[in-house]
Amino acid sequence: MKPAGLAALRQRLAAHSATPARAPGARYASSPLLAAKTPIWRSRFVVLGVGLTFCLLIGRAVYIQVVNQDFFQRQGESRYQRTFPLQASRGRITDRNGQVLAASVPAQSIWVIPKDFAASAAQRQALAKLLGLSPAELSNRLKENPNFVWLRRLVSDSVAAQTKALAIPGVHQQREYRREYPEGEAIAHVVGFTNVEQVGQEGIELAFQKQLVGRNGSRSVVRDRLGNVIEDIGDRTEPADGHDIALSIDAKIQFVAYQQVRDAVLQHKAKAGSAVVLDTQTGEVLALANYPSYIPGERQTRTGANLRNRALTDTFEPGSTMKPFITALALQSGRVKPSTVIQTAPGSITITGSTIRDSHPHGPLTVQQVLQKSSNVGTVKMAMQMQPREMWDAYHAVGFGQKPALAFPGLASGKLRAYKTWRPIEQATMSYGYGLSASLFQLARAYSVFARDGDLVPVSLLKQAGPVAGEPVFRPEVVREVRTMLNMAAGAGGTAPKAQAVGYSVGGKTGTAHKQDGASYASDKYRAWFVGMAPIQNPRIVVAVMVDEPSNGTYFGGEVAAPVFSQVVQQTLRVMNVAPDLDIKPQIVARAQAAPATEESF
């Protein structure tokens, strides 16, 4: 083919390839699909749906960011942030000489993040055993809260170390404080104890909670998912430790009193016993002991009976210990003198049909001898010369029927009925201690009027700066005469020769009484006590002792309580550096203590 022909062919082919292929009869502009109309409601529905979705999103954002922001903030922070309390150290309780009676020491507490807890069967068993839990108890605790659960608070150092050595993921330790009581059961009823949160539950721990507790601090930290602290956040608040409390108690005297009471209770197979020691110059409580007792830091020893501070809470009819007050009142009113003779024969007296008896007939006795030999008849004859109001005023003036002004929980007020309700027989029995009630502490304080110049001393469990003034009740000369009689009662021919102390003159009064059993008195249950002072011419201390239900064959106060008084007086005055006022002749005292006691009327 000629070149001109080839060129023309190529042009035709190029033109043909440049023209797009089109199906025969296809018209795109008139396609039925493009010609169909979309319903208007469909487009509006789509727009409305999109709008509602945006509204919901905005509402949810407002709810989270504004309305309930605090909740979601806490939920978020709980995943990574934790605020630990920085526990303040509770204040110490010390005796008058600075000896520690209660103090807080660091101790570890074990806690867990249950959702992070991962332990093998052997580790779970070892952990439960270390913490004193059964496997079931451990499992139940792990279900309480996925983020935080206490496993055991205030464990010993060895338990903390062994727990840490297990290296169980999710198990952590936190330092807290545990309360320690170095003097144990001897001081338990005074200091009391706290719970695991360091809140006072009994005794001084409860009475001075606000002063002892201090103020806790706090530390906020960021944790990783394993509970490890990454960094501190925010300001750290440092704890403020509590204030120390210095008591009037002398730990040495307290131990002596506790030991002597305990030994007497065991010797006489008694139910319980108590002793109170007061400083007559300052009104300070030097000892307040009870048996049975408990160990403050050991929960299993804190049973109901052991917890009772019997010297303060238990009340009883004080029996013959009331006779010195009737004698003092009779002397002060001028009705009698120490040498006045009172006929007590035939050993009984009948008042409105009721007969009051002495243990045995004494015949004529001077007022001194009435108190020395504890004659009911002689005391009643003095009392029945008085108006009921006179007796009531005297009893009330020395604190009977009133709660002592002492910063301590559980104080008993006792019972002293209004004088207008007294019948003659009740006035008579109240003169020798029946028909009213008082605690041992009230008796001890009441006797301070005989140990001072006739005034009632204000009492305190806190250390005092020096001597204090009291409320006058009896004239000083009357008190000196009564002290002479109390000295006679505690010597040969009296009801308590066993109260004699080596090196110190003493005076006091026994008490023995049947215990009430329902509406009547038990014939075989007694309380025995002795309340006295020493040295007799210038008393420095008042000591009151009570033994409840002695059952070893002897139950008189002069036999059961007076020996405890003797030992407490001797050792207390030596601790206080009070010079002896008698020649130290133990053999003479031993003979005096061995002298037969006059059987007490009760």
**So which residues are the catalytic ones?**
320
* Per-residue exposure over 274-313, b if at least 16 CB sit within 10 Å of its own CB, e if not: bbbbbbbbbbbbbbbbbbbbbebbeeebbeeebbbbbbbb
CA-angle at 279, arms to 275 and 280, nearest 5°: 115
CA–CA separation, 486 and 492 (whole Å):
12
DSSP state letters, 386-421: S-HHHHHHHHHHTTTTS----S-TT----B---GGG
Contact 404, 411 (CB under 8 A): yes
Residue 248's contacts (CB-CB under 8 Å, 6 or more residues apart) are 96, 279, 282, 284, 285, 286, 460, 461, 462, 463, 464
What is the strand order of the sheet 272-279 is part of? 285-291, 272-279, 541-548, 520-534, 507-517
105 Cα distance to chain centroid: 19
Write out the E strands in 137-284.
149-155, 171-180, 217-223, 229-237, 245-246, 272-279
Please tell me the distance from the alpha carbon of residue 277 to that of residue 545, in angstroms, as a whole number: 9
Q: What is the torsional sign of CA 356, 361, 363, 368?
A: negative
Distance CA 61, CA 360 (A): 97
Q: In this structure, which amino acid lies at residue 527? A: R
Spatial distance between the Cα atoms of 454 and 331, rounded to a whole number of angstroms: 13
| Residue of 481, 549, 479, 542 lying closest to 514 (CA atoms) | 549
Dmax (CA) of the chain:
183
Kindly state the tokens that stand for 477: 């000369």
